[in-house]
Amino acid sequence: MKKLLLTFLAGFFLIGTSLSAGAAEPGDELPAKVIAAESWEPTPGTPEEEIIWEFLLNKEKELDISSGELRNQLRIIKKETHPKAGTVHYKLKQYIHDIPVYGAEQTIHINKKGKITCLLGNLLPSQHQSFLPEEVKPQISPTDAIQVAQKDAENQIGNIGKPATDPKADIYVYLHQGKAWLVYMTEMNTIDPKPFRTRYFINAKDGSIVNKYSLLEQATGTGTGVLGDIKTFETKQVGAQFQLYDTTRGNGIKTYTALNSYFLPGFLVISRDNNNWTDAAAVDAHAYAEKVYDYYKSKFNRDSLDDEGMQIKSTVHLGLNYNNAFWNGEQIAYGDGDGVNFRAFSSDLGVIGHELTHGVTQYTANLEYRNEPGALNESISDIIGNSIKNKGWLIGEDVSVKGEAFRSMQDPTRYDQPDSYEDLYTGPFDNGGVHINSGINNKAFYLLAEGGTHRGVTVSGIGRDEAVEIYYHALTHYLTPYANFSTMRVAAIQAAKDLFGDDSNEANSVNKAYDAVGIN
């Protein structure tokens, strides 16, 4: 009973989504492509970028797109060289009649020997494109689409106040229920009258709602934190006042208070008399945001969430006795908890690392927040958030008044999560199991870091530090929005090979870890 109560109360941080946003539909994802290139050799003397096209044309059957359409539909949008590994990573997107296909991104990877190792990603196959008219042209305007989404949102939560972000509508080709649609994608993102962030796909022909789903991803002054520990952190003096505003990291770290309202970002936290802070929830939020920034900078040389110095905004005291924390695509917000089951959600460094890592994912792989991609999204936030905290294998135990965690990476089944792919949850709740199924990938990470035997497979541990490097490298170079668990396996193995060598113990341990959790 205790586990069930905890699951219910934890809200967005734990179970993630509102059922009003519609059930996740596993059949919506674009077909995943995992194509190895061990036996393929390019024509000698071919320039690097032309090698990409030669490889794609050679893999026409596996890609399910005719050779005549490959060059028309696929575009290289990014090239990145990894200095440590000596690898080159290309990112491509698919377009049909110059309109992007939603989620159709691919990554192609070249090792330090100049050889393509694999292609990972998703594509809209030729057979699904037959549903599209020859002339792909919208019949309604972007404003019309936004109005449809707003009306639907207000039917669920009442009149919407000031949006967290001004809505816009972008045109896409979108696969849904086995059919390609021309849609506008828009989001309703507000905190008033209650937290709500839902992505809508509006039929660009008649304004009907093709699909929708929730995106709420939850869960030097001195001051005392919620748990009584004294922290030191950067502030800014303005006249006689001090602000919780750190100007030394990226474009700044700011901490606000909502004063128990649902107004974001709220009011910048200030101290009128001195630089000794007494708002414990704000102290934790500010100091821990600095720790997360420092971890990404020192470990991965990443400058904030977007790697371009993005300002990190945190808001504490959201609502009254609000049992939640979430990333809304722009900032992180924390409730104070009800004091009976939960204390302030900013009190746990792992929770803050988890939520801010959703921001990193948003600016890298941009994993869809449902079904298997959503479970990977949640798992990677658990993996990096837990590594930042670097204290055991529980998730969220400091938030609970009774010390009861949300999840265990060592033993996911302790909190009703599967620890093997054969037990994958495939129902409609929790956006198709984004928090439930995250336990499978979490278990793989735990085995990789610590080692052990699971389901008859023995894994040699490589340590948490090297393990998290592999997952960050996979997130930033290999994964794409519709990545599934099988893609994650290949991405992690390739990341280990990039960082530690093709025949390294690390690459072998990744392989064994995924064998152990039943992911092929």
Which of the following is catalytic: 89, 435, 454, 477? 435
Parallel, antiparallel, or unpaired: how do β-strands 170-176 and 236-238 relate? Answer: unpaired
User: To 10 degrees, what angle do helices 485-500 and 438-450 make?
Assistant: 30
Which of the following is catalytic: 217, 290, 355, 368? 355
Integer Rg of the chain from CA:
23
Give one DSSP letter per residue of 182-196, joined into a string: EEEEEEEEE-SSS-E
**In the numeric block, which tokens belong to residue 51?**
């090698």
Q: How far apart are the C-alpha atoms of 467 and 449, rounded to whole Å?
A: 6
Region of 420 on the Ramachandran plot (φ > 0 left; ψ -120 to 50 alpha; else beta): beta
* CA torsion through residues 190, 431, 396, 399, sign: positive
Contact (CB, 8 A) for 2 and 404: yes
Q: How far apart are the C-alpha atoms of 387 and 475, rounded to whole Å?
A: 15
Contact (CB, 8 A) for 374 and 12: no
Contact (CB, 8 A) for 250 and 45: no
Give one DSSP letter per residue of 262-302, joined into a string: S-SS-EE-EESS-SEE--HHHHHHHHHHHHHHHHHHHHH--
Q: Is 355 a catalytic residue?
A: yes
Strand partners, 101: 173
Parallel, antiparallel, or unpaired: how do β-strands 74-82 and 87-96 relate? Answer: antiparallel
Q: How far apart are the C-alpha atoms of 312 and 310, rounded to whole Å?
A: 6
**In the numeric block, which tokens belong to residue 122?**
């998703």
Backbone angles phi and psi of 28, in degrees to 5: -80, -20
**In the numeric block, which tokens belong to residue 479?**
């994964």
Q: Which residues are catalytic?
A: 355, 435
